[in-house]
Amino acid sequence: MNYALVTGGSRGIGRAVCVRLASQGFAILINYVSNEQKARETAELVAQAGGQAELLKFDVANAEETAAVLGGWMQAHPDDFIEVLVNNAGIRRDGLLIWTEPEDWHKVVNTTLDGFYNVTRPLLQPMLLKKRGRIINVASLSGLKGMQGQTNYSAAKGGLIAATKALAQEVGRKKVTVNAIAPGFVKTDMVDGLDEAALKKDIPLQRFGEPEEVAALIGFLASPDAAYITGECISINGGLYS
Ligand code: NAP
């Protein structure tokens, strides 16, 4: 069976990605860190889309926990293959750098960058052996442009984009592709509290994006049609920044 693992699949963009990839025929592994109820709801949506899903609870920033859960899953599924990895789990803890406490720096950077490393490394070996695999990293416009009040988040996402480009060069000859996407504002819990009416005036398409629109891009990158795209970071931001 071919699986797709979506980190942070319980809510928002990750949830829409789970449903999308299920509709493309992948069995889905829904990772989450704390929100079991929401993860179950995502599994239900996957089932409604005709797919199958399994929950995998672990904190992507925690190396031991991630290794134990992923190692356990792989041991229990010797004939199954995680062909698609979507590194989507992410958080923001905004504030000017001058006021940013160490915890808010490390938490944001570690969730994105340690998360990328902790999850990608164990899944890479089977991909290289099979000469097949897709790794899709959810970065952000902040990682391309830099956003004030988000120095921690911009550093994390910028690092993720650079890691995408480096890893793509390492694994291309084994037919594994590695790409990033950089969304602008997307309607999820993460943008709760932002002034959408004011912010959308600066967006050429005059609205925030929908999680399903981001999921469609990720679905494309996971599809056979995207076989010749690697090392890219594709923006999806309504024209806000290019
Ligand atoms: P969201 O609605 O806040 O959902 C975040 C997801 O990440 C949840 O499923 C959460 O799990 C999971 N998560 C957080 N920390 C985790 C950890 N340490 N280990 C495992 N899972 C963890 O966020 P979203 O808006 O969908 O964002 C998804 C990705 O898109 C993030 O990387 C974000 O930076 C990026 N992004 C979002 C926007 C936007 O405007 N929304 C724009 C650009 C980029 P629980 O449910 O268990 O908490």
Tokens 């356990």 sit on residue? 72
Distance 112 CA to ligand 1 centre (A): 10
What confidence category does residue 71 fall into, taking pLDDT thresholds of 50, 70 and 90? very high
Nearest CA to ligand 1 atom 9: 8
**Does residue 189 fall inside a structural domain?**
yes
Query: Closest Cα partner for 136 from 203, 198, 229, 240?
Result: 229
| Residue 229 lies inside a defined structural domain of this protein | yes
Total Cβ atoms within 10 A of residue 69 = 18
Is residue 241 in some structural domain?
no
- What is the per-residue pLDDT for 90? 98
Q: Would 136 be classed as within a structural domain?
A: yes
Question: Any bridge partners for residue 29, and if so which?
Answer: 5, 54
**Is 183 near ligand 1, meaning CB less than 6 Å away?**
yes
The count of structural domains within the chain is: 1
Largest CA distance in the chain: 52
Q: Whose CA is nearest to atom 12 of ligand 1?
A: 8
CA atoms of 90 and 12, how far apart (whole Å): 11
- Pocket test of ligand 1: the residue of 33, 59, 93 to mutate, having most ligand atoms within 8 Å of its CB, is 33
Q: Show the domain range for 139.
A: 2-236
d(CA 152, CA 146): 10
Residue 28 binned pLDDT confidence (cut-offs 50, 70, 90):
very high
Cα 215 to Cα 15, 93, 109, 222, 224: the distances in Å are: 9, 24, 23, 10, 16
Cβ(61) – ligand 1 distance below 6 Å: yes
Assign residue 206 the CATH number of its domain: 3.40.50.720
Residue 242 lies in a domain: no
Using CA atoms in the order 84, 86, 87, 91, what is the torsion angle rounded to 10 degrees? -160
Which amino acid residue places its CA nearest to atom 3 of ligand 1?
190
At 96 the pLDDT is: 98
Is 3 catalytic? The answer is no
Q: Is residue 45 part of a domain?
A: yes
Give tens-digit pLDDT for 128-165: 999 999 999 999 999 999 999 999 999 999 999 999 99
Tell me the C-alpha distance between 173 and 120, whole Å. Answer: 17
213 in any annotated domain: yes
